[in-house]
Amino acid sequence: MTGFFLAQAAPPPTNGAQLVLAALIGIAVIVVLITRYSVHPFLSLTIGSLVTAAVAGQGLDAAITSYSTGFGSTAAGVGTLIALGAMFGKLLADSGGADQIVDTIVGRSSTRMLPWSMALVGAIIGLPMFFEIGLVLLMPVIFLVSRRSGLSLMKIGIPALAGLSAMHGLVPPHPGPLVAVTALKANLGLTLALGVLVAIPTVIIAGPLFAKLAARWVDVPAPHLFDTDAPASGPAPRTETETGTTTVTASRSELTVQRTRPTFGVTLATVLLPVVLMLAKALADIFLPMGPPKSVLDIIGTPLMALLIAVVVAMFTLGGSARMGRKGIAASSRARRSRASC
């Protein structure tokens, strides 16, 4: 989002050095306002964009017009998608689907494979969830897995953060990629496919491989924030029983009792649904001739329809499996805790 404000502040001047200087000063103003004076990020970005315009030589009237037009068109283009994405992520968290993904993948991994498993968990959770929401969700898991496995917090936390970050920055329907697709009028399906393609080696290098190197130099033990009286070392105790109404599992807390959760297969299929629909549209544009099948895929594969379908399906697959009921699903959809953030 910072890049959007800077880009909207002024057109490239004839002097390239002046544009670079304007961008650097604008970024510096934003950083100082947020970190030193605790100014709200949105206000800091707005002030920084105006400073960038002034340094770049654009008049104040033109800068305000450019800012208003650019922000308005971008908000109109991705605002609904961000809201739908937030609703989907909240349903995934409230239904216990996110916990089910974590428990299934981490619970079946050896100690040696845990960093790779955490990278996979971060990537899957990062597909529908914004970074900060996924981070809050995974933080207790990161701490507990680190303590129970005896591995450094660096080896467990960095892969999970790499998975979250790569998906948030490279793969639609997250705000950054969507803004870029809208501004450049790029093919969404192709952008999605290439984003996933780039994200895979990025997660591997910035996740498990870098974590292995970083852990040699920085040994950070996991804090005891989520510990109970259970042993402080050794493998995590795995106690799982499903009675149809209750699942007992040791992952997010050492031994917590949760209501019925959607199965791993149902949760994973629901998470991947919008991605599959958008990729199907891209493949249809390439391989299918004009006709009803292509027309249908062109409609349901747009970001708006793909996310809308995913949210509606999630109400039944995630909310229904968790027995949340109509009121619970409605309350989850209205919740403000999953605020969209760029």
Q: Stretch 127-154: mean pLDDT, rounded?
A: 80
Element at 257 (helix H, strand E):
strand 256-259
Q: Which residue has the higher pLDDT, 3 or 136?
A: 136
pLDDT value for 88: 83
Would the pLDDT of 173 be above 90? no
Q: Distance (Å, rounded) from C-alpha 342 to C-alpha 336? A: 16
What phi and psi, each to the nearest 5 degrees, are found at residue 339? -60, 140
> What does each C-alpha distance from 102 to 2, 40, 140, 184, 335 come to in angstroms?
32, 33, 11, 36, 23
pLDDT value for 72: 66
Would the pLDDT of 335 be above 70? no
Would the pLDDT of 37 be above 80? yes
pLDDT value for 206: 93
What are the pLDDT digits (tens) for 259-275?
588 888 898 898 888 88
Q: Which residue has the higher pLDDT, 309 or 324?
A: 309
pLDDT value for 10: 44
Q: Distance (Å, rounded) from C-alpha 310 to C-alpha 302? A: 12
pLDDT value for 158: 93
Q: What angle do CA 131, 173, 118 make, to 5 degrees?
A: 40
Cross-strand bridge partners of residue 242? 247
Q: Distance (Å, rounded) from C-alpha 113 to C-alpha 184? A: 40
% residues pLDDT > 70 (the chain): 79
Q: Which residue has the higher pLDDT, 66 or 14?
A: 66
> DSSP string spanning 74-135?
HHHHHHHHHHHHHHHHHHHHHTTHHHHHHHHHHHT--TTTHHHHHHHHHHHHHTTS-HHHHH
Place of tokens 């892969």: 159
- The amino acid present at 30, given as its one-letter code, is I
* Mean pLDDT across the chain: 77
Q: Stretch 80-93: mean pLDDT, rounded?
A: 79
What are the pLDDT digits (tens) for 47-60?
988 888 888 888 77
Place of tokens 């104040």: 60
Dihedral sign (CA 262, 267, 269, 274): positive
pLDDT-derived band at 116 (thresholds 50, 70, 90) equals very high
pTM over 0.75: no
Would the pLDDT of 232 be above 60? no
